[in-house]
Amino acid sequence: MSAFAALAAGRRHWGGLRDDGTVTAVGDGRAGECAVGDWTDVVAIAAGAVHAARNTGRSHTVGLRDDGTVVATGWNDDGQCDVAHWTDVVAIAAGWRRTIGVRADGTALAAGRNREQQCAVDDWRGVLAVACGDWHSVGLLADGSVRATGNDTRRQCDVGQWRDVVSVAAGSVHSVGLRRDGTVVAAGRGPTCEVSEWTNVVGVTAGSHHTIALLDDRTVVAAGADEQHQCDVEQWQDVVSVAAGSTFTVGLLRDGSVATSGEF
């Protein structure tokens, strides 16, 4: 069996993309979110998360194929899995009740719930990557700036002044950006945004109420809620990538094994 190349984490499940383009999913699959065994030629995966306080375990999983098409499985009450007609896609993200994609021409498209305007991305241009929170969506533009749309009750969409950003992540009510110099910026309120002192960061991910960063020495730091021990990651070593679910964190280690912390 080939090794994992990337991870994605949702509400109560996580998925692993293997080097051979197949996908494995582990956890609560009651809505079909773990039904990925027949996926092939996948180059990226995303998992929809639900606010940790919600009682539902329903979620969805999304895969980007090497031909630019998209496949999805799981909870589909708002049409978040209705992505089979998408083409020319180069990046994907999944949030609560929705899926966001980036086309090769830098435009964005969305499927799913739009009650809070979290799918209002049709006018975005020059997009490189996207991230989904519960009720808001974040887009990284080619010039290093960032856009956001959707619910802004905690100022999680206050990203208009960010510059030199190379990747983005979104939690329930916060947004995170990794700058080119290895520092991190966050929008929102509370301890999940206490990231200003982090340095030498090479990757960021966000759960419902926690933020995780991978450092250039392959260690991991965390900020935010830790009731389920989702931030208990400081002993991890030789980490090559991380993904944050609602109340848990998973890390891919250099030897191909996976570390987990928290509950899902």
Domain count, the chain: 1
The contacts of residue 222 (CB under 8 Å, 6+ apart) are 210, 211, 212, 213, 230, 231, 232, 233, 234, 249
Q: Helix, strand, or coil here: 80? A: coil
Give the CA-trace dihedral at 191, 192, 196, 201, to 10 degrees.
Answer: 140
CA 123 and chain centroid, separation: 22
Distance of CA 78 to CAs 95, 146, 224, Å?
Answer: 12, 26, 29
Predicted model pTM: 0.96
Q: Please tell me the predicted confidence (pLDDT) of residue 50.
A: 58
Q: Please tell me the predicted confidence (pLDDT) of residue 264.
A: 83
C-alpha span between 180 and 21 (Å, rounded): 29
Q: Please tell me the predicted confidence (pLDDT) of residue 211.
A: 98
List pLDDT tens digits, range 43-93: 999 999 755 555 555 799 999 999 999 999 999 999 999 999 999 999 999
Q: Please tell me the predicted confidence (pLDDT) of residue 228.
A: 96
Tell me the residue range of the domain where 215 lies: 4-262
Residue 140: pLDDT over 60: yes
Rounded mean pLDDT, 130-145: 97
CA 248 and chain centroid, separation: 13
SS percent in the chain: helix, strand, coil, step 5: 0, 45, 55
Instruction: Decide if 105 contacts 88 (C-beta within 8 A).
Output: yes
Q: Helix, strand, or coil here: 43? A: strand
List pLDDT tens digits, range 195-235: 999 999 999 999 999 999 999 999 999 999 999 999 999 99
Identify the CATH number of the domain in which residue 85 sits.
2.130.10.30
